[in-house]
A = this chain, B = another copy of it.
Amino acid sequence: MKRYHLEVRVKPRPGLLDPQGKAVAHALSDLGYAGVADVRVGKILDVELDAPSETEARERGEEMCRKLLANPVTEDFEVTVAGILEDA
């Protein structure tokens, strides 16, 4: 078993409205930033997970996204192994 650092990105699906992103874009314009064409806001999760292999770690991360971390209707997710932390 090793401890893996997973980076999990959960983002609103392209084409779906993202009210939080729109609010941020307006706030940036109000602060004087010209040229902001679009903002979309998602989550990034750093997960430390003990698993027997890198493949297994990534697969468990993807399953966690399907079951808990992402909304399958409105969000897309991507799981990458960002590093191996230590022998667990």
Contacts and interface: CB of A to CB of B under 8 A. Distances in A.
Interface of A: 1, 3, 9, 11, 21, 24, 27-28, 31, 33-51, 60, 64, 67-69, 88
Total identical chains: 2
**Do most interface residues of chain A lie in helix, strand or loop, or is the interface mixed?**
strand
Given A35-B50, A38-B48, A43-B44, 8 more contacts: A3-B37, A24-B68, A24-B69, A37-B49, A39-B46, A39-B47, A42-B46, A43-B43
Nearest to A36: B49
Nearest to A50: B35
A44 B47 CA distance: 15
Nearest to A35: B50
